[in-house]
Structure 1
Amino acid sequence: MIEYERLSYKREPDLHNRCCNGMVWCIKDICGIICAIMTWMLILYAEFVVVYVMLLPSPYPIYSTINLVIFQLFAFLAFASHLRTMFTDPGAVPKGNATKEMISMMGFREGQVIFKCPKCCSIKPERAHHCSVCQRCIRKMDHHCPWVNNCVGENNQKYFVLFTFYIALISIHALFLSVNHFIFCIRHEWKECSVYSPPATVVFLLFLVFEALLFAIFTAVMLGTQMQAIWHDETGIEQLKKEEARWVKKSRWKSIQSVFGRFSLAWFSPFSSPQLRSKVESYLHSV
């Protein structure tokens, strides 16, 4: 087996889909960028209505403080999870590495079957699929999500799951707060209900209810499909194409650990990366 250290200095840096001199993974897709900005704006709108329309004007300081801390915490984690999903390399296979020199360098035997992607000219690992938006083959590609402007793959699936989880939580929380505020405003005949006029307050609340209900359903469904895919060790694209499992499927617990790492509170943190494989194993999978 060829060691990582012997090959690393011979490989030129792959700067495709990277920004800041190759330090950050980024997809330059205008549709994805617009969707990502819309996601941030919708989160900020929810924060504005929850904080400045409902909680700060509330005459109940304990109720306001508790809900403010909970909502801000989940909103921050959702925003951080979105950024980690968006700017993490999902498991891109190096472009143009299907050359005779690279194949011979990797020590493949004569007559051994090697899958080559005709679109990005890469040696295609098992369970990798080509993404037409990223213009790369992605290891364990589940799907390309415009809302995070990135593919969901081997390296960033945890962050995408956390993003859907925290968006679902703040959506449900926003629905609860909106219903409570409506009831409070009606009982007090809109006095001390909001610093804004009753019509403006109603518009703010109705739009928030619509947004929260829509995103609660959407992200809950996405969260369920992601957990089902992880549970069965089968990506979304593999399920869609009904591909026969040529790989050795992990047990359900091992499959979950491969995405989230060993069980701990770090499972719920977008700042904690799952335990990575060894350099040699990672390199052999990446080509």
Structure 2
Amino acid sequence: MMLIPTHHFRDIERKPEYLQPEKCVPPPYPGPVGTMWFIRDGCGIACAIVTWFLVLYAEFVVLFVMLIPSRDYVYSIINGIVFNLLAFLALASHCRAMLTDPVRTCTEMAFTLLVSFPEKLDKPVLGRSDCLLGAVPKGNATKEFIESLQLKPGQVVYKCPKCCSIKPDRAHHCSVCKRCIRKMDHHCPWVNNCVGENNQKYFVLFTMYIALISLHALIMVGFHFLHCFEEDWTKCSSFSPPTTVILLILLCFEGLLFLIFTSVMFGTQVHSICTDETGIEQLKKEERRWAKKTKWMNMKAVFGHPFSLGWASPFATPDQGKADPYQYVV
């Protein structure tokens, strides 16, 4: 038997003013599909700029300290192409993760209203709602909209008092994005966005490509140090030996730090996808009330159907097929 918390119902009963029009004003009509999503958060924007600066610093050291001065042209060309390709994919993944609405958009949002009486849990009430930008419309918990649901006496909808939205199942409110995010894993300041069901693929690719360029940079730094110890330091780089050493040590420290950090993040994200349990759900140890799927189905739900090289491309928008209905618990 599903246990329905009663505090949500009590909150609404105690604070009926939240349902008044002046308290819950729906957002204006959304722009066309493809409107850029961007969070105006100072800390997140600063972290995103730092991310790009660190990648571009690695590009500078790899190209102008190690590869261009090298007399082994084959070594320089191959490593230059590989490193620049991985760096480009990492930055492209970062942009997609940052500028993509973390919640899927749709023309109509189906939802299921589960009644609060245990004896009626097997009799859901179906309804539809126009979908605004994102699948969790901000400010849609108006008195008029709730009345349009034609609920039976005794039924009540979970509502977020912070963004005044009808709260679907598996949604959590983000204080930075200022809205409820369905299947929210966490808010990442490095991409200045929440990691949700619609941009998780790009975040996973971002962590993977950052880990790969960090590993590649560390390997090249190791070979460069060995080469410079065998040769004259003045011939190893266009810069002076002290400057070269400082630049390489900083790159080595950066590569080691982000290799560890992004590898851990990549592993936790893949585990979260395979188990179909977000980071917040694991942290809060929430009761699982959604259908269990195979790990392969969960991976395809994030990266798209069917398996293809598009899984590794930040430019390929995943085709999740027919989206699952959004479930509203009442």
TM beyond 0.5: yes
Of residues 308, 311, 320, the one that matches 1:267 is: 311
CA deviations 1:22-53 (Å, max 9, x no partner) are: 92111110000000000000000000000111
More helix by share: 1
Residue of structure 2 equivalent to 1:216: 259
Shift in Å at residue 247 of structure 1?
1.4
Kindly provide the CA deviation profile for residues 174-233 of structure 1, in whole angstroms up to 9, marking residues without a partner as x: 000001001101100214200100000000000000000000000000000000100100
Give the whole-Å Cα distance in 1 for the aligned partners of 2:160 and 2:247. 50
Give the drift of 1:277.
Answer: 4.5
Q: What number of residue pairs does the alignment pair up?
A: 271
Distance 2:98 2:149 in 1: 31
Residue 202 (structure 1) aligned to one of 242, 245, 251: 245
Indicate the percent of aligned positions where both proteins have the same amino acid: 62
2:46 maps to 34
**Counterpart residue number, 1:240:** 283
Match of 1:13 among 29, 35, 47: 29
d(CA) in 2 for partners of 1:181 and 1:220? 24
Structure 1 partner of 2:294? 251
> How many angstroms apart in 1 are the aligned matches of 2:304 and 2:58?
32
Q: Which moved more, 1:62-71 or 1:187-196?
A: 187-196
The amino acid across from 1:26 in the alignment is: F
* Residues 1:142 and 1:211: Cα distance change in structure 2 (over 3 Å): same
**Equivalent residues of 2:302, 2:320 under 8 A apart:** no
Q: How far did residue 21 of structure 1 move?
A: 11
* Cα distance in 2, alignment partners of residues 118 and 195 from structure 1: 60
The equivalent of 1:225 in structure 2 is 268
Residue 71 of structure 1 pairs with residue 88 of structure 2: no
When normalised by structure 1's length, the TM-score is 0.89
- The runs of at least 4 consecutive aligned structure 1 residues that moved more than 3 Å come to 104-113, 281-286
Equivalent residue of 1:82, what SS?
A: helix
Does the aligned pair in 2 maintain the 1:49–1:204 contact within 8 Å? yes
Query: Which consecutive unaligned segments of at least 5 residues does structure 1 have?
Result: 1-9
Residues 1-287 of structure 1: pairs in structure 2 closer than 5 A:
12-14=28-30, 23-91=35-103, 92=134, 93-106=136-149, 108-262=151-305, 263-278=307-322
TM-score, normalization by structure 2: 0.78
Distance 1:22 1:64, change over 3 A: closer
- Structure 1: which amino acid aligns with 2:171? A
- Segment of structure 1 superposing worse, 247-256 or 50-59: 247-256
Listed one character per residue, the Cα deviations across residues 129-159 of structure 1 (whole Å, up to 9, x for unaligned) are 0000001000100000000000000100000
| 1:46-97 superposed Cα distances (whole Å, 9 cap, x missing partner) | 0000011100110100010000000000000000000000000001521110
Q: Distance in 1 between matches of 2:152 and 2:235?
A: 78
State the SS of the aligned residue for 1:54. helix
Where do 5+ consecutive residues of structure 2 fail to align? Answer: 1-25, 104-133
CA RMSD of aligned residues (A): 2.2
What is the match of residue 114 of structure 2?
none
Q: Could you tell me whether the CA contact under 8 Å between 2:185 and 2:279 is conserved in 1? A: yes
- Answer whether contact 1:14 1:94 (CA < 8 A) is retained: no
- CA deviation after TM superposition for structure 1 residue 100, in Å: 3.0
The structure that has the greater radius of gyration is 2
C-alpha contact 2:183 2:197 (8 A) present in aligned 1: yes
- Deviations 1:242-267 (Å, cap 9, x if unpaired)? 11101112221111111001210000
